[in-house]
Structures are given as C-alpha cells and as structure tokens.
C-alpha cells in the first residue's frame, strides 16, 4: 500500500459517521485498516439496510465479521489489537468497556496502542450518555446558529461540520499525533475526540471576531455569512448559481471592473449600511446572464469567482479533472485521497469490502489453523462473505 502511513495497522470497530470517515482518511494515507464488523443479520431494512450498504467511505478496509458476545470472538479481536498500532471506535462512552474492548483491556495486550474514541458529546460531561447527531452537536457550539438567513431557521449544513470536519478529521489528526508520540516514547494513549469540541474548534476565528467587535451574533449580518455582497451567491438567468468571494480590495475592484460597475454606491466596500442595496443591485445584474456567460467573463480571474456546481457537474470541471480531484472506481465517482505527498504519494485504496470478506485471511494471519477456522465458521463466531 502506498502512502505515508504504510506499515501502520489500525483496528476500526465498525460504526457510523465520523469514525468510518477517520478510517477512510487513515486508509487513504496507506494504513492497513482492519474493520471489526458484526455478523450480518438477514432481512434488515430502512436505515439499518443503509448502514449495510458499501460506499466510497468504506474503501481501503479489510473486514473481519465476528460475534463479540462469544468469548472466542472477543479473543480473536484482542489478538488483532495486540498486533495493531491504533484502534478507533465511535460508540457511546462505556460501550466498548462492556464489550471487553475498552482501553484498559486493549492496552493491557498492547502498551503502544493508540486508542481513538469518537463521540458527539465527549467521554465526560452531563450530556456524555445522550444520543445525538451532527445537527445537535453543532447546535451546542454556536456553529449552527451562525449559518443561514437571519429571517429563517438555521439550515442543517449537511453533516460536514460535526461528523466530518469537527469529528472524523479531528479523530484522524489525534490518532496520527498520538502515533507520533508512541513512536518516540513507546507508550500509547487514549484520544478523546468529541464533535462538540471539534465544532467549537472550527469556530475559533468567529469567536475571535466576536470578541473584537468584528462579528455580530446574528445570522446574515457579517462578512462570511452571506451579508456581504462581495461574499455570497447569486442566481443567474438560467436558474443556476455563481459564488463570489472578492474580500480583498484589489479583488473587489477587479470584480467591479469586470462587471462594468462604476456606481458610487459601491465605492466603499465596507459600508455595511449599503450592503443590502449593493447586494440587490448585484442580484439583478447576475440574473441577466446565464452561469456559463458569467464563467466566460469571470472564471480564472482574480475576481474570486466560481460556478456553483451540482454533484454531477463537479467531477468533470476542467480544474478538478486536471488535478484528479475525483476518481472513478468500481463504477462509482468519488473524491480522491487528499492531501498529496511528494515522496510517499497515496493511491486510491481498494473498494469497501462486504462484511466478513477477509475474516478467514485475517485469522490465518494470526496463526489459526484451518481446522480451528472451520470450527469458528460453523459455530457462527466468525462470518466469511462469499465473493
């Protein structure tokens, strides 16, 4: 496997949301990620069925499907952990302890193990045991309040802030940081990554501006929340949209020049009282041409312009195509691994496996005999997916 984490082994206790995203990042960087899956049950439907579907976020794993309620299954997982560098899990606090796979049990088998824990509220605090999802975690940190129009409820910004930016990405960084320390000290540790903590961390700049008086605690009243006419989106004549981000004075001046605007109304970029009228004028102007026409006039200039592409359009945009930002694998268009490394470049990992696809191979790697593996299969302690 290519990538800077080649040679690193990570155990992932299968779950939803940010922990699998962290697993994908680590696999993209070259780590061998062994996912511990539950033995699949027949007849699942709805959201349970969705959780069973293989998606690009599952790429790069080896899957061991095992019954953790059976002592033999638990022993198998602890044997895998004994040879691993890190473990990541995304359950409520205390769940892995009840399974017999908590930090104490795992680090007793492997003192160098980095144990990454991903939760919404964190391992401690009055909400630690409450259920929740991305929207709840970002609501608690002020992030959700700051997004959207002032006269409407704040909209759910997909699950990018809590689950992925403030969750999975934070967990991956924490695990890699702890692995670096373990390489120097020979000692593992527990990484407590909480989506509330991560979402708050992503808001550091905004909280700084709030303290200094450069941010109003009201939606659509500030530089980056859609109030500024030079930092927002506009609808075009064909119903498509463009995004403008001309914050710096020279970029703003170029935008006005390209748009043919000489009106004194736009002379003072930071006259916030004029922003609503400026925005209305720009909206009327952008509505006179199609998105393609605006692209021909503005794209590639320092006016800080981009078309708002839908999910079907984005992969084929010339810039994304030139950089290979998206790749097609197994009939699925998906984002390519990032960031990029000059000496240890990452490669797109293999597609996500069916549950239990590598169970037998993993046990063989642990030195289990063919007869023992056959007994475990018959007893339902492990599951091997058919090709």
- Of 17-21, 84-88, 252-256, 382-386, least confident by mean pLDDT is 382-386
Alpha carbon of residue 144 to chain centroid? 17
- Tokens representing residue 284 in the block: 């009327």
d(CA 155, CA 169) in angstroms, rounded, equals 22
Specify the pLDDT at position 52. 53
**C-alpha dihedral, 103 to 104 to 108 to 111, nearest 10°:** 50
pLDDT above 50 (res 22): yes
pLDDT, mean over the chain: 95
Choose between 330 and 16: higher pLDDT.
16
Q: How far apart are CA 273 and CA 276, in angstroms?
A: 7
Backbone φ, ψ for residue 81 (5° rounding): -60, -35
Report CA dihedral (170, 173, 177, 178) to the nearest 10 degrees: 60
Q: What pLDDT shows up at residue 329? A: 85
Q: What is the pLDDT of residue 387?
A: 67
385: which 2 tokens? 């997916």
Measured CA to CA, the distance from residue 74 to residue 158 in angstroms comes to 36
Query: Among residues of the chain, what percentage have pLDDT more than 90?
Result: 94
Taking the C-alpha atoms of residue 299 and residue 291, their distance in angstroms, rounded to an integer, is 10
Instruction: Flag whether pLDDT at 48 surpasses 90.
Output: no
Question: In this structure, how many other beta carbons lie within 10 angstroms of the beta carbon of residue 357?
Answer: 23
Which residue(s) pair with 88 in the sheet?
12, 116
Higher pLDDT, 178 or 2: 178
- The residue to which tokens 């720009």 are assigned: 282
Predicted confidence at residue 40, as pLDDT, reads 83
Q: Is the pLDDT of residue 44 over 60?
A: no
What is the rounded distance in angstroms from the CA atom of residue 41 to the CA atom of residue 368? 25
SS3 at position 333? strand
Query: What integer is the mean pLDDT of 179-201?
Result: 98
CA distances from 115 to 60, 90, 99, 112, 176 (A): 20, 11, 15, 9, 11
Rounded CA separation 109/118 (Å): 21
Instruction: Decide: helix, strand or coil at residue 303.
Output: coil
What is the full DSSP assignment across 152-178? SPPPP-TTIIIIIIIIIHHHHHHHHHH
Q: Which of 83, 85, 101 is nearest to 14 (CA)?
A: 101
- Range with lowest mean pLDDT among 33-47, 140-154, 210-224, 304-318: 33-47
- CATH of 231-308 given 3.40.109.10, 4.10.520.10, 3.30.1540.10, 3.40.50.300: 3.30.1540.10
HSE, side-chain direction, 13 A CA sphere, residue 245: 11
Strand partners, 10: 33, 86
- Cα separation, 344 vs 56, whole angstroms: 22
Averaged pLDDT, 200-206: 98
Residue-wise pLDDT for 116-138, tens only, equals: 999 999 999 999 999 999 999 99
DSSP state of 162: I
Which residues are CB-contacts of 60 (< 8 A; sequence separation ≥ 6)?
23, 24, 27, 28, 33, 349, 350, 352
Active site residue 214: no
Query: Is 47's pLDDT higher than 50?
Result: no
Q: Are domains 9-202+326-383 and 231-308 of this chain identical in fold? A: no
Could you tell me the residue ranges of all domains in the chain?
9-202+326-383, 231-308
Q: Give the whole-angstrom CA distance, residue 312 versus residue 333.
A: 9
| Active-site choice (163, 197, 225, 358) | 163
**What pTM was computed for the model?**
0.94
Q: Is the N-terminal amide bond of 126 cis, ω within 30° of 0?
A: no
Q: Tens digits of per-residue pLDDT, 284-324? A: 999 999 999 999 999 999 999 999 999 999 999 999 999 99
Pull the structure tokens for residue 381.
């302690």
* Right CATH for 9-202+326-383 from 3.30.565.10, 3.40.50.10540, 3.90.1070.10, 1.10.150.120: 3.40.50.10540
Phi, psi (rounded to 5 degrees) for 83: -105, 5
Tokens describing residue 159: 């699950």
- Determine which one of 70, 79, 133, 192 is catalytic: 133
| 163 catalytic residue (yes or no) | yes
What phi and psi values does residue 98 have, to the nearest 5 degrees?
A: -65, -30
Q: What is the pLDDT of residues 149-160, one digit of tens each?
A: 999 999 999 999
């Amino acid at each position: 496997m290519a990538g800077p984490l080649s040679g690193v082994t990570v155990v992932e206790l299968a779950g939803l949301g940010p922990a699998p995203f962290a697993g994908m990042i680590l696999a993209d960087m070259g780590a061998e990620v062994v996912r511990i899956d539950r033995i699949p049950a027949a007849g699942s439907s709805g959201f349970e069925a969705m959780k069973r579907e293989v998606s690009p976020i599952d790429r790069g794993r080896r899957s061991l499907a095992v019954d953790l309620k059976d002592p033999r299954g638990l022993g198998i997982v602890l044997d895998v952990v004994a040879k691993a560098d890190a473990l990541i899990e995304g359950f409520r606090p205390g769940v892995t302890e009840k399974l017999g796979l908590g930090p104490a049990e795992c680090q007793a088998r492997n003192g160098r193990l980095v144990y990454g824990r991903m939760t919404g509220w964190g391992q401690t605090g009055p909400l630690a045991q409450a259920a929740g999802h991305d929207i709840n975690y970002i609501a608690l940190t002020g992030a959700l309040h700051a997004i959207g129009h002032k006269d409407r409820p704040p909209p759910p910004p997909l699950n990018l802030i809590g689950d992925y930016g403030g969750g999975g990405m934070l967990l991956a960084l924490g695990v890699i940081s702890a692995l670096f320390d373990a390489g120097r000290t020979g000692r593992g540790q527990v990484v407590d990554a909480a989506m509330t903590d991560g979402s708050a961390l992503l808001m550091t700049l905004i909280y700084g501006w709030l303290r200094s008086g450069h941010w109003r605690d009201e939606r659509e009243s500030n530089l980056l929340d859609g109030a500024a006419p030079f930092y927002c989106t506009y609808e075009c004549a064909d119903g498509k949209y463009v995004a403008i981000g001309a914050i710096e004075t020279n970029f703003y001046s170029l935008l006005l020049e390209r748009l043919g605007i000489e009106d004194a109304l736009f002379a003072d970029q930071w006259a916030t009282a004029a922003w609503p009228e400026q925005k209305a004028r720009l909206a009327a102007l952008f509505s006179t041409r199609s998105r393609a026409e605006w692209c021909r006039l503005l794209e590639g200039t320092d006016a800080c312009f981009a078309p708002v592409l839908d999910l079907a359009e984005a992969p084929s945009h010339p810039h994304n195509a030139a950089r290979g930002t998206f790749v097609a694998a197994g009939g699925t268009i998906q984002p390519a691994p990032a960031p990029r490394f000059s000496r240890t470049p990452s490669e797109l990992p293999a597609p996500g496996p069916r549950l239990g696809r590598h169970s037998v191979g993993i046990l063989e790697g642990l030195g289990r005999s063919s007869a023992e593996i056959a007994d475990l299969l018959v007893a339902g302690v492990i599951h091997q997916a058919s090709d």
